């Protein structure tokens, strides 16, 4: 079974402060991890994935297999970062199910 846990339903951060959204997962094989974001009145869209190891909009996330975590980080929060963030896991080859965590609503305080 595959499971994704996001412990914080709500997170408020002051503009300019660092942001960390936590994500832990449970999966016995080699998963792929993603962060999806949903801005107000917009569709769900991919923010980043662990395989590409890229930084999007200043966000980064490192897969820590020892701690089974994939936390999302940004050093300096901006007001436009306010959104709903979902961590998601896709299983090995042949297991195409994308399982989402419960999501964290991030609010940036001006």
Partner 1 sequence: DTEVTQTPKHLVMGMTNKKSLKCEQHMGHRAMYWYKQKAKKPPELMFVYSYEKLSINESVPSRFSPECPNSSLLNLHLHALQPEDSALYLCASSQAVGSRSYEQYFGPGTRLTVT
Question: Judged by CB, which is closer to partner 1: 67, or 92?
Answer: 92
Minimum Å gap between C-beta 108 and partner 1 is 20
Largest CA distance in the chain: 45
* Beta-carbon count within 10 A of 37 CB: 21
Within 11-50, the residues that bind partner 1 by CB under 8 A are: 32, 43-46, 49
Question: Judged by CB, which is closer to partner 1: 93, or 110?
Answer: 93
**Do 37 and 83 form a contact (C-beta atoms < 8 A)?**
yes
- Is residue 36 classed as helix, strand or coil in its secondary structure? strand
Within 46-105, the residues that bind partner 1 by CB under 8 A are: 46, 49, 51-52, 86, 93-94, 96-103
**Do 43 and 49 form a contact (C-beta atoms < 8 A)?**
no
Question: Judged by CB, which is closer to partner 1: 69, or 99?
Answer: 99
d(CA 61, CA 72): 5
Give the footprint of partner 1 on this chain (CB under 8 A).
32, 43-46, 49, 51-52, 86, 93-94, 96-103
């Amino acid at each position: 079974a595959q499971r994704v846990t996001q412990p914080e339903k709500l997170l408020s951060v002051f503009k300019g402060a660092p942001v960390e959204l936590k994500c832990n997962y449970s999966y016995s094989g080699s998963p792929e991890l993603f962060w999806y974001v949903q801005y107000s009145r917009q569709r769900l869209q991919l923010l980043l994935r662990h395989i590409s190891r890229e930084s999007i909009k200043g966000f980064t996330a490192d897969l820590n297999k020892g701690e089974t975590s994939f936390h999302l980080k940004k050093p300096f929060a901006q007001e436009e970062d306010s959104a709903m963030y979902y961590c998601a896991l896709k299983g090995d080859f042949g297991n195409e199910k994308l399982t989402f965590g419960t999501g964290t609503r991030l609010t940036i305080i001006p």
